[in-house]
Structure 1
Amino acid sequence: MIGEYIDRAQSGTTDNRAEFQRMISDSDRHTFEAVIVYQLDRFARNRYDSAINKAKLKKNGVRVISARENISEDASGILVEGVLESMAEYYSAELSQKIRRGMDINAQKCLSTGSNPGLGFTVDTDRQFHVDPDGARIVREIFEMYAKGATVADIIKSLNDKEVKTSKGKEFNKNSLHRMLRNKRYIGNYIYKNVEVPDGMPRIIDDELFDRVHRILNRNAKAPRQNKRRGRISANNQAVLRLLQRDDDRLRRHFQDRTAISLLRL
């Protein structure tokens, strides 16, 4: 054995794995003749990925050996290997269906589906949401600061100076703060896929404060577009003025029409 390629806690349903791809790339150097896996579903659970990557290895003189499955190298081995790969893909697809079904059932009961609950919430062993007092205090402070006129940059600086982290344990930035301010979970709406259930989970922010924050967010979102339009008009005016100031009778006659006049008035 000359080396190991280990992708920890990553699904074999895709070949988009760093160590797996490094192994395929290293086979181009012809430094090894075989890859040993515990069983074939550790190599791939998708028959297409399995066939493509095995072909790449075979081209480089490398074969895949299963430590747990006794597969011969004759014609029958091809059949057995195909059956094992098909079974691995079937079990993977079946497991995925069961997980999605379980998530849908939990969502119907307004329970956690396993995603990050967000700052201010905790999830118990029964998957029910609860308000985290410390996190909820930070959430209320953020909403109140923004409602009172603090800028996003000011709030981010204040939070990071205090070493307050997001629910993912990272520093706040513009995107994470905007997601929080627009998160309807804070007014008690349970959200799963495209379904919203009012009062489906405990609320942290009252409707009046949430609506006030949203009005400010929407107003600030429109401001850059309006400023950009004013900038285009100003640039157009300057261009027309420069042309009119040139000593050119043809251009002067051209810009005496109503379009040029109306543009200058904007």
Structure 2
Amino acid sequence: MIRIAIANQKGGVGKTTTAINLATALAATGMRTLLIDLDPQGNASTGLGIGHAAREYSSYDLLLGEATVAEAVIHTRVPLLDIIAATQDLSGAEIELIDVAERTHRLKNALDAAQEQWDICLVDCPPSLGLLTVNAMVAAQSLLVPLQCEFFALEGLSQLLTTVERIRGRFNSDLSIMGVALTMYDRRNRLTDQVADDVRACLGKLVFETVIPRNVRLSEAPSHGLPALIYDHRCSGSEAYMQLARELIGRLPQPEPRPEMAA
């Protein structure tokens, strides 16, 4: 199972919107997709129409060892897309995990036991670099960073990259950065173009070619409990996320060819 953490310690950069719509797009291609909501705000869960009453088990229970992946998973209305929802209990998980053995590997250990059930797993991280995000980075093979096209876009990115290096050195040497996705792009704003150019000059091919525009339909969709790709698949935001999913698939590790059977 391919595991990708979607992280940026800055809030309001379109991280959860990216997680929901990429997961939907990947499921639409036929990939069995698991989305893990690791943000105490639970916006990814709400955005997929998972009410609080339906969250019998959550990512909190998963981290505390009180539920398995199979027990915590919820089927969404999107075919082939499952989610492990978040509840407010998750906000206390970092304190509760302080004295727990292998506290940085709790998510990895839980996912290792469920390897064959899904093709790909996306983890929506909270807007911080705390223990929840560390768990996601330890469990993942790669990192996708949504980056807002605004003046302070690169502020804090160096801190995130430093954290990635520390995770590589101490816990997960295989962790790589799959790419940076530029979000909230506004063609009417010249500053947006300047920021996008600066980011590409700094990070080169790490930056996806696709940019996600500012789009009202992307903002409206969560209030209906639907991904934008289902709420309005023809809007510019949905089309951009479908294109981003195609780019992401192109960067995924290719499966090793099966040895030919002897005649």
> TM-score if structure 1 supplies the norm length?
0.20
Counting helix residues as a fraction of each chain, which structure ranks higher?
1
Structure scoring higher RCO (CA < 8 A, sep ≥ 6) equals 2
- The TM-score, its normalising length taken from structure 2, stands at 0.20
Please identify which structure carries the higher strand content: 2
